[in-house]
A and B are shown apart, each in its own frame.
Chain A
């Protein structure tokens, strides 16, 4: 009986979302309404009195505004330009060198930014016009910038990883570090694919004249980007070494990024306030969804839906690979009409209890789900990174052209996903070596 109430509530939730009720409000309404239906007014009101405050007043969650602030400052201050210029000097000679440089610069930017959309926007503004000017195939240039954004949520700092860790009740440090190798693997695989494609079909990316570039020039270019490298290494290093918490790493990272931007005169007081304002609006809307997701999780636990679904899933399969593939399929479908954080917070109240019941490693599953969410940013109809790239190009590169370019990167993603699913140690090796 309770299970039916729970399932009916999920249908109502879908209806409310379809009617364009804000996700956070819909989750609160269904969560609290469901508890009211099952247990009465007292328990439901009691939850509303405690959950919003208790969920928010949380140390782990405080990493979110710090990461968002760091990301906003990094995006605002245009640190990408120097990164790309340096990578261009180092990799420009290779087949498809400018696109390879875009991949590495994107990964470098992701290490201080953590936002897929911001990374794509930054690379789309800086690298794509130069690639197009050099005669690169437009679909390769724009597809590369759109795809490279997806490593943003894997390489720390990552907001998605923090939220997942909070709901799965796993170490946020381990969760963040777990995304590092998959992120680097993705970047290398992208570069490799670009190199091979351009070697086989040189018309995609005409050679750029780099004859005047000396080793001294390359070394000199590193002087401009060392702060970015230092900040990225520091953020990952202090979390990995157990020296600081994710919140502290994010805060120090944000201060360091701001200092670099102030020194390079790419950020002023007004810009900083703008970044902070953007940060609090993003954080507040995100936390409202988090509050709703917590209430929904409490209601679903009372209704027994997760137990019911996990039993139903066990009837189909107990194989962890099959279970994660089913989750990936669900995410792919949901990715057609929902944004990444929305999908994650809507599904975790159901998925986490199932993972726990079936003994699925939550860190492994978390990284794969985050990766899947990021792949959703490249697939139609709601490939947000593709739309961002299209907007950055002022529609000079059509959506169809970008989706065509992105399809090659999606092929690479299939291979990477297979590796991550079949060889879990790629994800779990670094967290297992962590101190603390």
Chain B
């Protein structure tokens, strides 16, 4: 009975959880540093334009295709780990812990399926754009944006992996696992 009330605590499970932890830490760190660099880059660009009448080439394109993509997609896995994706608590107060545990399991499976399809679509687009060598013209130079397609796919893929680990770690955990998985995620 005890094994039914605890998450799977096997060596492969711990290894998977460690990998997921590392992926979350790295992607979140990159996004965190990116938002600071973005802030400084945009400020310097705006000040140079207003004060010195000098335009910093490619600022808008770098912000749009790199900073925004990194900040938007990479933290998805961390948000999943922390249970920060926004949900509606409408009926959950009426349900028992046991039902809630199974509900969360089903929601995670559904989320993984949806995120998996998004990831598939993003990878497919990244492959296509890489083959075409997609670039955007900044007025000064052509900025390759096909790598950014891979960054988006990477962020989405990281969330799928975290969901996968959460699902299998919850597999034998029907209760008390509503908000956070029990493994060290």
Binding site for B on A (CB under 8 A): 16-25, 28-29, 32, 45, 48-50, 52-53, 56-59, 61-62, 65-66, 69, 243-245, 247-248, 251-252, 254-255, 272-273, 276-277, 279-281, 283-289, 337-339, 341-342
In the complex, chain B residues whose CB is within 8 Å of the CB of A17? 87-88, 90
Q: Which 7 A-B pairs have the closest CB atoms?
A: A48-B121, A22-B85, A248-B46, A284-B75, A251-B42, A280-B31, A49-B125
A254 to B74 CA separation, bound complex (whole angstroms):
22
In the complex, chain B residues whose CB is within 8 Å of the CB of A272? 36
In the complex, chain A residues whose CB is within 8 Å of the CB of B67? 62
Report the stretch among B5-13, B15-23, B58-66, B167-175 that lies at the interface: B58-66
A-B contacts, 7 listed (Cβ < 8 Å)? A20-B92, A25-B115, A48-B121, A53-B69, A59-B63, A252-B46, A285-B85
- Let me know if A57 and B87 touch, CB within 8 A: no
- Let me know if A53 and B149 touch, CB within 8 A: yes
- Let me know if A52 and B122 touch, CB within 8 A: yes
Is B137 positioned at the interface, with any CB of A under 8 Å from its CB?
A: no
Query: What 1/0 flags go to B78-104 for Cβ under 8 Å of A?
Result: 110010111111111000000000011
- Let me know if B43 and A248 touch, CB within 8 A: yes
In the complex, chain B residues whose CB is within 8 Å of the CB of A339? 86
- Let me know if B114 and A58 touch, CB within 8 A: no
In the complex, chain B residues whose CB is within 8 Å of the CB of A58? 64, 68
A380 to B174 CA separation, bound complex (whole angstroms):
32
Binding site for A on B (CB under 8 A): 28, 31-36, 38-40, 42-43, 45-47, 50, 60, 63-65, 67-69, 71-76, 78-79, 82, 84-92, 103-104, 106-107, 110-111, 114-115, 117-118, 121-122, 124-125, 145, 148-149, 152, 155-156
Q: What is the chain B residue whose CB lies nearest that of A258? A: B39
Q: What is the chain A residue whose CB lies nearest that of B30? A: A280
- Let me know if B43 and A337 touch, CB within 8 A: no
- Let me know if A56 and B31 touch, CB within 8 A: no
- Let me know if B28 and A280 touch, CB within 8 A: yes
In the complex, chain B residues whose CB is within 8 Å of the CB of A50? 125
**B111 CB contact (under 8 Å) in A22, A273, A286:** A22
A287 to B45 CA separation, bound complex (whole angstroms):
25
**B103 CB contact (under 8 Å) in A20, A65, A248:** A20
- Let me know if B72 and A287 touch, CB within 8 A: yes
**A62 CB contact (under 8 Å) in B64, B75, B85, B117:** B64
In the complex, chain A residues whose CB is within 8 Å of the CB of B43? 248, 251-252, 254-255
A62 to B92 CA separation, bound complex (whole angstroms):
35
In the complex, chain B residues whose CB is within 8 Å of the CB of A273? 32
In the complex, chain A residues whose CB is within 8 Å of the CB of B33? 276
A56 to B107 CA separation, bound complex (whole angstroms):
25
- Let me know if A24 and B85 touch, CB within 8 A: yes
Supply 14 further A-B pairs (C-beta < 8 A) apart from A20-B87, A247-B63, A284-B74. A18-B88, A18-B90, A19-B106, A23-B88, A48-B118, A48-B122, A61-B68, A251-B42, A251-B46, A255-B40, A280-B74, A285-B79, A286-B86, A288-B79
Q: What is the chain A residue whose CB lies nearest that of B76? A: A284
- Let me know if A337 and B90 touch, CB within 8 A: yes
A21 CB, nearest partner CB in chain B, Å: 5
